[in-house]
Structure 1
Amino acid sequence: MFRGIISLVALPLVIVSGHANAQAVPKTWYQMDIAKDSFYGISLNKAYEFLRNSHKKPQPIIVAVLDSGIDTTHEDLRPVLWRNPKEIPGNGIDDDGNGYVDDVYGWNFLGNKDGRNIKKAADERARIFHRWKNQFADKILNPEEMTEKERDQFVLWKKALHELNFSAEEQTELMFVEVTTKALKKHDKILRQEMGCDEYNFEKLEKFQPLTRLGKEAKMGFLTCMKMIGLDAEEKNTVLLSQLEEYIDGKKSAFESKEKAPRDYRAEVIGDNYYNLADRFYGNGDVMGPNPDHGTHVSGLIAAQRNNGIGIDGVADNVRIMMLRVVPDGDEYDKDIALAIRYAVDNGAKVINMSFGKSFSPEKAWVDSAIRYAEMKDVLVLHSSGNEGVNTDEKEVYPNPWLKQWNTVAGNFITVGASSDPKISGSLTAEFSNYGKASVDVFAPGVKIYSTMPGGNKYGNQQGTSMSTPIVSGIAALLRSYYPGLSAKQVKNIIEKSVLVPESANLCFRPGAKADVVPFTSLSKTGGIVNAYNAIMAADQFNTANAGNVQPQPAVVKRNKLD
């Protein structure tokens, strides 16, 4: 799963090569214009200036966010939440007859009817390995005697087995992170006592003047680690320690998973027949869940209320966010993803944001069918490329637009990589971003991205392709709102054709290999960074050229049976 304020999957690399001494970065640099502000943002204010001057009136757009949850009480999000018009909150009745009781803001596919929720889940490779272990392990098998389905399962199982053979280097990396975390916790305990508070950030700690020798040592140790990791100056000690603990816990579970079957949280909490797609009316209406950090941040980037004088302005105005909780701490379940996409389509979403991903997808056919369904119903799907710093032309991530059963590529699917700015990281690329000349469509800002956070009207920075994707989703929503006659495929084409392509001489670091300098144009299909102003101008020109020939799409579609 692609998550986190820092790229913890590559934490040892980040610690070695961190760039904490970069200049102060404007909170909303990602919305800025390179010509006016000298930052490679998306030229958002310029886009709105054109829209204001053209006196265009936007139509409401529903954007479905498939994620970890959302803080429904947040000051900057509460006014932009989608509300099911046919559902009466809290009456325990399925008022609209769609099979989901009290789905007021969307649906939680990681819960059950008594209100409990899944927080953690094992990674997919471990689930796959133990699912077919008895069928394939320690047996002499002839692939030619297998059915096509059995061969596919065997190949998938062998791949999972291979990836569960962890190297000595990976074991050493975990040990290094554990030692670092142990030292940080020791420093943190001393600092909390001497500072008289439980939470502090880089700036507050730097200003603090310890009175004891232990306090001075703790301050120096904690600050040094924060600088090495490249943690943002406003991020809290609690966030750092939580992320480190999550990383360690996940790695330990992964290392143990070859010998020990992972705990089946799904069976304990949800209790559905997972392998039956028709068993789909599980879950509950709690779209916040136990861990809404990631989804709250993503949602704010798309649509935090604009021009209200607080917090941030989201990319798109006149948007309603529909939250579909499908992302646990761990790998997502294909069934939840497939059903959430269908829910979004059936309830009027025109844009779907998916800021997550994984390396295995055993029920990919279910997800593919849902993506195909979205394509047929004119819904645009956007997905993050991932944060491993790898070439996804060579290593697949899921979901993806290749629809095997139709032998085609989905025309409504955009895959997004993460860009940066040379003044932030010394490169146009985010060092963690996945890339691919054939598999990644566009790049968008994904480093030091400021947005909404849960737990009391908070705001903060996160980074990842998870942040890049909602920025593009916001542009897509903007286009569909102000130019409602555009189809999903036309919006995709406009976004891709209107990217800002850096000058050919503007080389950058290839993600995952800082010593390797490459042209930015070599890392994606378009070779560029999304640009809201360019996209609006292209949409306006297209709209003018096709006046009278483009019909608005319906806001709501009828539900369809599962394929």
Structure 2
Amino acid sequence: MLILLTGRTVCAQQVKMMMPKPNWYNLDLKTDSMFGISMDRAYQELLKGKKPEKVIVAVIDGGMDAAHEDLKRVVWTNPKEIPGNGKDDDKNGYIDDVHGWNFMGSGKDDFEFDNDYIVLELRKYTARFGEKDSSAIAKDDLPEYRKYISQRKELTQKLEKLNKDIENSTRFFKDLEAVLKKIGKENPTLDDFNKLVPANDAEAKIKQFMIPVLGKNPDFRTYVNQAKTTLEDNRNKVQYNLNLQYDPRAKYANEYPPVKEGFYGNPNVYGTVAPAHGTHVAGIVGADRNNNTGISGVADAVQIMPIRAIPDGYGLDIDQANSIRYAADNGAKVINMSFGLNTLLDRKAVEEAVKYALSKDILFIQAAGNGHENLDNTKRYPSREKKEDQDFVDAFIKVGASGFADNEQLAVPFSNYGKQTVDVFAPGLGINSTIPGNGYEAHSGTSMAAPIVAGLAAVIREYYPKLTAKQVKEIIVKSVVKRDALRDLCISGGVVNAFNAIQMAESYK
């Protein structure tokens, strides 16, 4: 059964499916019959014997397990910082930032959940309008007041639906537990439910519900785990994301100043909850290729700089802006963003941070997202049409997700796309990579496709350090393996290919 991992911007689930080869995204279509990026072939035939330079890739995400067996030798280490002495040895404004930085917290605390955008908006409007009637509102303020009333209604409706879903799911699991006891199995089959003789309405409803579910997929435990994860996500939305009374920064507001270059946070890049998403992304970029353990990431001489800034929720634009600045100030040459870049609250801060990073010749890689949307019909930053965004566009690659089979379904159904807005596609289906606690899992999503391109960009910059970010983008886009299935789905019309890209970089001028 395939469950899509869409990244922190949507939802995240483990993928459980049999893949022919766990390392397929590094393989070659001709020699391995897997539509990978031919990374292994490039190492063997084009890069063997050549000495790469170290390249830092900043992974802005929800955190990373820097102690993972497959990441501990490739995690970026600040050479001028003395671990654990409570001092800012390198005078960069961040105390003990040995392996990156955590912008989701204070000097003493961290948080995992943040409010959704509607709550951030409502909190702002509540301070202005409170319970006032429209007759007490100034004429010039009426448009925003009406928006406030509309958002209050929308939030109420969302919470009512979520609470109803939670109530129904809780009752479902209680009734299911009783049925499992009656069947006498923790992992019943379709045949077990067909044979069940209901003793009451609750048992009849469970039978009626589970028979078509198991008819489509016989893996009972996978379905239950998925349903329980959905229930937990809904509870978190009610308790945190959509809760006007929950503000993760309130208790240390004085340590979390709303400034454009605030040195807040702490060096705990792991966070409060095991950072599965960020750890998985980091492993794809550059899990140790030389330790005979676990997996092989795309890049071979990479240093991964974890920056924790993406919560479960909307988060603040300023956190993302400061993450970009931190990466730029500490030597990153590639930034991976397996999330949607927020610009609704403080677009100027993000734009200024991006311009600062561009001045240091940084290449940005971003996931296209997993809503099966045509991004040509949406307004997103950077805009391909606006002249003022062109410098960013020139050093920015948006990535869709492709599968391992060379057929008309090459583009994975969940992936966003856009003939004018998505640059390339890259493997994003059943990608095996690192998870916290020295583990490994196969996940799917454009969140997985983006770090494959980030890893490739790092390899090009390792072996051809004189190439600019703009040139690296041009090489990656021009060297794709084109397919009719992608012709109308992205600018390049193809899947990134390391072998082609390295050949092009060798003679690129």
1:530 aligns with 2:496: yes
1:129 alignment partner, one of 86, 111, 122: 122
Confirm or deny: 8 A CA contact 1:125 1:160 kept in the other structure. no
Deviation at 1:185, TM superposition (A): 7.5
2:420 alignment partner, one of 419, 434, 438: 438
1:482 aligns with 2:451: no
Confirm or deny: 8 A CA contact 2:169 2:231 kept in the other structure. no
The count of residues paired between Structure 1 and Structure 2 equals: 489
* Alignment-derived partner of residue 248 in structure 1: 234
2:92 alignment partner, one of 85, 94, 98: 98
2:58 alignment partner, one of 64, 81, 91: 64
* Alignment-derived partner of residue 286 in structure 2: 303
The CA deviation string for residues 430-459 of structure 1, in whole angstroms up to 9 with x for no partner, is 22222112221111111211100102x100
1:385-464 map, 5 Å: 385-397=368-380, 400=382, 406=388, 408-410=390-392, 411-422=394-405, 427-455=409-437, 457-464=438-445
Task: Please give the alpha-carbon distance, in whole angstroms, between the structure 2 residues aligned to 1:523 and 1:390.
Answer: 10
Task: Please give the alpha-carbon distance, in whole angstroms, between the structure 1 residues aligned to 2:184 and 2:86.
Answer: 47
Range 174-183 or range 531-540, more displaced: 174-183
- Structure 1 residues 173 and 440 mapped into 2: Cα distance closer, same or farther (>3 Å)? farther
Task: Please give the alpha-carbon distance, in whole angstroms, between the structure 2 residues aligned to 1:121 and 1:358.
Answer: 16
Amino acid at match of 2:70: D
1:87 alignment partner, one of 81, 88, 106: 81
Deviation at 1:95, TM superposition (A): 0.7
Amino acid at match of 1:394: N
Unpaired segments ≥5 residues, structure 1: 198-203, 507-519, 547-563
* Alignment-derived partner of residue 26 in structure 2: 31
Q: Which secondary structure does the structure 2 equivalent of 1:371 belong to?
A: helix
- Structure 1 residues 169 and 69 mapped into 2: Cα distance closer, same or farther (>3 Å)? closer
Deviation at 1:534, TM superposition (A): 1.2
Q: Which secondary structure does the structure 1 equivalent of 2:249 belong to?
A: helix
Deviation at 1:273, TM superposition (A): 5.0
1:539 aligns with 2:505: yes
The CA deviation string for residues 198-231 of structure 1, in whole angstroms up to 9 with x for no partner, is xxxxxx998xx99x989xx999998985896899
Deviation at 1:380, TM superposition (A): 0.6
Task: Please give the alpha-carbon distance, in whole angstroms, between the structure 1 residues aligned to 2:215 and 2:334.
Answer: 38
Deviation at 1:131, TM superposition (A): 1.5
Deviation at 1:332, TM superposition (A): 2.5
Task: Please give the alpha-carbon distance, in whole angstroms, between the structure 1 residues aligned to 2:320 and 2:139.
Answer: 33
Task: Please give the alpha-carbon distance, in whole angstroms, between the structure 1 residues aligned to 2:121 and 2:385.
Answer: 21
- Structure 1 residues 28 and 61 mapped into 2: Cα distance closer, same or farther (>3 Å)? same
Deviation at 1:365, TM superposition (A): 1.3
Task: Please give the alpha-carbon distance, in whole angstroms, between the structure 2 residues aligned to 1:242 and 1:94.
Answer: 44
Deviation at 1:366, TM superposition (A): 0.8
Confirm or deny: 8 A CA contact 2:384 2:421 kept in the other structure. no
- Structure 1 residues 475 and 117 mapped into 2: Cα distance closer, same or farther (>3 Å)? same
Task: Please give the alpha-carbon distance, in whole angstroms, between the structure 2 residues aligned to 1:298 and 1:37.
Answer: 24
Amino acid at match of 2:230: L
Q: Which secondary structure does the structure 2 equivalent of 1:85 belong to?
A: coil
- Structure 1 residues 416 and 178 mapped into 2: Cα distance closer, same or farther (>3 Å)? farther
Confirm or deny: 8 A CA contact 2:286 2:297 kept in the other structure. yes
Confirm or deny: 8 A CA contact 1:335 1:363 kept in the other structure. yes
- Structure 1 residues 402 and 437 mapped into 2: Cα distance closer, same or farther (>3 Å)? closer
Task: Please give the alpha-carbon distance, in whole angstroms, between the structure 2 residues aligned to 1:360 and 1:163.
Answer: 22
Confirm or deny: 8 A CA contact 2:256 2:265 kept in the other structure. no
- Structure 1 residues 4 and 428 mapped into 2: Cα distance closer, same or farther (>3 Å)? closer
Task: Please give the alpha-carbon distance, in whole angstroms, between the structure 2 residues aligned to 1:74 and 1:110.
Answer: 21
Unpaired segments ≥5 residues, structure 2: 198-202
Q: Which secondary structure does the structure 2 equivalent of 1:339 belong to?
A: helix
Amino acid at match of 1:315: V
Confirm or deny: 8 A CA contact 2:420 2:490 kept in the other structure. yes
Deviation at 1:247, TM superposition (A): 3.1
Confirm or deny: 8 A CA contact 2:70 2:283 kept in the other structure. yes
Range 168-177 or range 98-107, more displaced: 168-177
Task: Please give the alpha-carbon distance, in whole angstroms, between the structure 2 residues aligned to 1:232 and 1:497.
Answer: 45
Deviation at 1:483, TM superposition (A): 0.8
The CA deviation string for residues 341-385 of structure 1, in whole angstroms up to 9 with x for no partner, is 111111111111111116762211111111111111101111111
Confirm or deny: 8 A CA contact 1:417 1:442 kept in the other structure. yes
- Structure 1 residues 195 and 474 mapped into 2: Cα distance closer, same or farther (>3 Å)? farther
1:349 aligns with 2:305: no
Task: Please give the alpha-carbon distance, in whole angstroms, between the structure 1 residues aligned to 2:152 and 2:67.
Answer: 41
Q: Which secondary structure does the structure 1 equivalent of 2:487 belong to?
A: helix
- Structure 1 residues 229 and 129 mapped into 2: Cα distance closer, same or farther (>3 Å)? farther
Amino acid at match of 2:111: I
Confirm or deny: 8 A CA contact 1:187 1:221 kept in the other structure. no
- Structure 1 residues 176 and 444 mapped into 2: Cα distance closer, same or farther (>3 Å)? farther
1:172-191 map, 5 Å: 179=168, 183=172
Amino acid at match of 1:247: D
- Structure 1 residues 357 and 498 mapped into 2: Cα distance closer, same or farther (>3 Å)? same
Deviation at 1:123, TM superposition (A): 1.2
Amino acid at match of 1:249: R
Range 100-109 or range 37-46, more displaced: 37-46
* Alignment-derived partner of residue 259 in structure 2: 276
Q: Which secondary structure does the structure 1 equivalent of 2:336 belong to?
A: strand
The CA deviation string for residues 323-346 of structure 1, in whole angstroms up to 9 with x for no partner, is 110011112211111111111111
1:43 aligns with 2:28: no
- Structure 1 residues 308 and 205 mapped into 2: Cα distance closer, same or farther (>3 Å)? farther
Task: Please give the alpha-carbon distance, in whole angstroms, between the structure 2 residues aligned to 1:287 and 1:241.
Answer: 29
Confirm or deny: 8 A CA contact 2:8 2:311 kept in the other structure. no
